Structure 1
């Protein structure tokens, strides 16, 4: 996988590695993590994109978060552990973390993806966060990768301790809306992308016909929950 990085790109990656708090032995892992499929497809030569690293990073995320929850929530039953993990390691959270780390600024994108706002697209940010985790794992090993995941997800773990993370946003939204006579809630699938083993669904939620929220997730239920959460945030701002 050895590639010669330009001096400018090497400096960019060193700056990102410093911001991540990880001292990479091989910056090419990080370069691959930041290479979108659109860039690889449009480039001449054998450019490796980040999908395989994304696959690996997803597994590291799941095991690291599962380990933390198992160790720090000893009274929580298996079913609730699964729900808590799904709520923490979700598309919206990972995209938020990627945005906070400015990973989108470092992405290598094809022209169409760049023009279409790919640097801020939630699915791209989620994918690149997972890919960076995969790169850290390959370069630094399990312990460093696990510690990094836990450090990034710590605010979500703290929310789980307070019980805030397990709210059923769809039920809360429905109860709030139905307090007002004549209002109703409906959900609409507006986008479906990705291969069968890694689907991403985007739903909009409407309150009496007006779009009030949108959410993306690996399942339709997860996407609807994120849409409902966004709608609740908007209602509470009024």
Structure 2
């Protein structure tokens, strides 16, 4: 066994009781309970904390971040492969990149409140490290890496189903995909019907208006989309239409 990692594992037992209590609260809130809690603590340990507590032999979260990055890509790839049968390899790659990029990981981390639990050195704390985007993204990946070691993909998949996949299904990342062009291609391959996008409703005040758009093929509704702009609503409607056509094809209706 690597002596450095062994010492790090034992060192986490010396964390202040308040810190340990905070991590217990986090596990309770996420309904995820680590068999090896040192992995959880390690995932939230920044290098600045390690540097300021050299005698404790803590280990930082960089190795877990490395692993978590790969596990996250695998989980997202498998999900997209299963749910987007009409996407090409290039389209799948583009969508996956948008999901696992730093800005997206930061949003996931913030929504989970991970910044509150990060173990930081005083200097990093004073310069706003707890809100630093790169640091928040790294912690999210490190958490996934720790959870994977502790419980395998059996725990990763439910976690992603709660935190990441719902945002894909409601079109949060649809801005990176041209679903309208893709839908047009599919329609041209099956028939030469006429696609129309119609705004059926406008919601909210003028400064925060949302549009509801339906896409129709030969006057038959295929999909409905909601967006902050007409363009976004049309893209979302097209995405739902592609899913509808895929379902019909699988059932032998077209």
- Normalising TM by the smaller chain, what interval? 0.5 to 0.7
Count, aligned residues: 167
Is contact 2:115-2:136 (8 Å) kept? yes
Match of 1:87 among 88, 91, 98: 98
By how many angstroms is 1:9 displaced? 2.2
Matched, 1:72 2:83: yes
Is 1:56 the equivalent of 2:67? yes
SS in 2 for 1:28: helix
Partner Cα distance (2:122, 2:174) in 1: 43
Q: CA deviation at 1:143?
A: 1.4
| Equivalent-residue separation in structure 2 for 1:8 and 1:114 (angstroms) | 17
Partners of 1:22 and 1:93 lie apart in 2 by 22
- The yes-or-no answer on 1:121 pairing with 2:154 is no
Q: Which digits, 9 at most, give the CA deviation of each residue in 1:25-84, with x for residues without a partner?
A: 121111001100111112122110000000011111000000000011111110000000
Change (3 A) 1:159 1:18: same
1:14 to 24, 41, 50: 24
For 1:199-231, what per-residue CA distance to the aligned partner results, in whole angstroms no more than 9, with x for missing partners?
Answer: xxxxxxxxxxxxxxxxxxxxxxxxxxxxxxxxx
Question: Which of 35, 39, 43 is the aligned partner of 1:29?
Answer: 39
Task: Answer yes or no: is 1:40 the counterpart of 2:86.
Answer: no
Q: Output the CA distance in 2 between the equivalents of 1:51 and 1:162.
A: 27
Max Rg structure: 2
Displacement after TM superposition at 1:8 (Å) = 2.4
1:162 Cα deviation from its structure 2 partner: 8.3
> Is the CA contact 1:159–1:165 (under 8 Å) kept in the aligned structure 2?
no
Distance 2:170 2:95 in 1: 10
Larger CA deviation: 113-122 vs 8-17: 8-17
Report Cα offsets for 1:160-206 as digits up to 9, x if no partner: 49843426xxxxxxxxxxxxxxxxxxxxxxxxxxxxxxxxxxxxxxx
TM-score by length of 1: 0.66
Q: Structure 1 residues 161, 132: CA separation in 2 closer, same or farther (over 3 Å shift)?
A: closer
Q: Separation in 1 of the partners of 2:168 and 2:50?
A: 36
**d(CA) in 1 for partners of 2:113, 2:68:** 18
